[in-house]
Amino acid sequence: MPEPVIALEAVCRQFPADPPVHALAKVDLRVEPSDYLAIAGPSGSGKSTLLNILGLLDTPTSGSYRLDGIETTTLRDGGRTKLRGSRIGFVFQSFHLLSHRSVVENVMLAEVYGRHERRTRKERALRALDQVGMSHRVDFLPDRLSGGERQRCAIARALMGTPSLLLCDEPTGNLDSRNTAAVLDLFDDLRAQGLTIVVITHEDEVGARADRRVRITDGLLTEE
């Protein structure tokens, strides 16, 4: 049996306060390759903390988190940064595109850090843009794109490094229903191509499209 992409075991995260805030309490979660998982929950439920831990942006107070079989809780800052750059593709609610760089330059940014062949970088960026159906907007600046196009551009950037995990934080939060549908269709396509996707959302419509849904309330995870 192949290693799970994500394996959380008894992960806790406390924030120092008086009394301490238990944002996550003994969370266990397994995500197998080419799973499509939606994490839902109201605000303040620990969603963002979970996302930060999954994205290696934050470390758990206790417990173990293995990504592709690599234990991440013992890694230092540099090691986690490397792992994050090579294995995780982030998709943000607010897209985070650099406004003064063209679409293709924004996508190419994904390979600036880490070891990649420089000469073929543009080819790979164009292929990623093709994958999300954005080949006709390659040289546009982001502020001339619609919200859905911007998010597809951001997804292309996330796909650029061929990550094992696509981690999406409210990917449709800033989109209207038509663009939301387009992005969700895209996720279905990517899923079909074998990509592992974790979506954090509070929208039921988004959650309904995933194979698995987990709900987080007060730091506790329940599978639906």
Partner 1 sequence: MHLRDLLNEALAGMLARPVRSALTTLGTVLGITTLVITLGIAATAGNQIVGRFDELTATSITVEVPETKTPLVDWNAYTELTRLRGVTSAAAVAENKASSNLTVRSNRIVDPTRVTDQTLTVIAATPGLPEAAKGRMTQGRFFDAGHVERKDRVVVLGDQAAKLLGVTRLDEAPAVFIAGRAYTVIGVLGELRRDRSLGTAVIVPPSIGKLFGLRDVTRVLINTSLGAAELIAGQAPTALSPGNGDMLQVIAPPSPTRARDGVQDDVNGLFLILGLVSLVVGAVGIANVTLVTVMERVAEIGLRRSLGAARRHIAAQFLLESTLIGLTGGVIGACLGVVAVVAVSAAKQWTPVLDGQLALAAPVAGAVVGLLAGLYPSLRAARMEPVDALR
End-to-end CA distance of the chain: 24
The residue among 16 and 78 lying less far from partner 1, judged by its C-beta, is 78
CB of 1 to partner 1, least distance (A): 29
| Residues 113-152, mask of contacts with partner 1 (x by CB under 8 A) | xx---x----------------------------------
Q: Does 109 bind partner 1 (CB under 8 A)?
A: yes
Q: What is the Cα–Cα distance from 75 to 3, expressed in whole angstroms?
A: 19
Size of the site for partner 1 (CB under 8 A): 29
Report in angstroms how near the CB of residue 208 gets to partner 1 at its nearest.
27
Q: CB of residue 40 vs partner 1: minimum separation in angstroms?
A: 20
Instruction: Answer yes or no: are the C-beta atoms of 60 and 13 closer than 8 Å.
Output: yes
Number of Cβ atoms within 10 Å of the Cβ of 121: 17
CB proximity list for 152: less than 8 A, separation 6 or greater:
132, 133, 134, 182, 183, 186
Report the b/e string of 57-89 with b at 16+ CB within 10 A: ebbbbebebbbbeeebbebeeeebeebbbbbbb
Q: Is 224 one of the binding residues for partner 1 (CB under 8 A)?
A: no
Stretch that binds partner 1, among 7-15, 27-35, 96-104, 180-188 (CB under 8 A): 96-104
DSSP lists the bridge partners of residue 166 as 89, 197
Candidates 2-10, 28-36, 85-93, 189-197 — which segment interacts with partner 1 by CB under 8 A?
Answer: 85-93
Query: What are the E-state strand segments in 79-201?
Result: 88-91, 165-169, 196-201
Query: Which stretches of the chain bind partner 1, using CB under 8 A?
Result: 52, 55, 57-58, 77-78, 81-82, 84-86, 88, 90, 92, 94, 96, 98-101, 105, 109-110, 112-114, 118, 157, 161
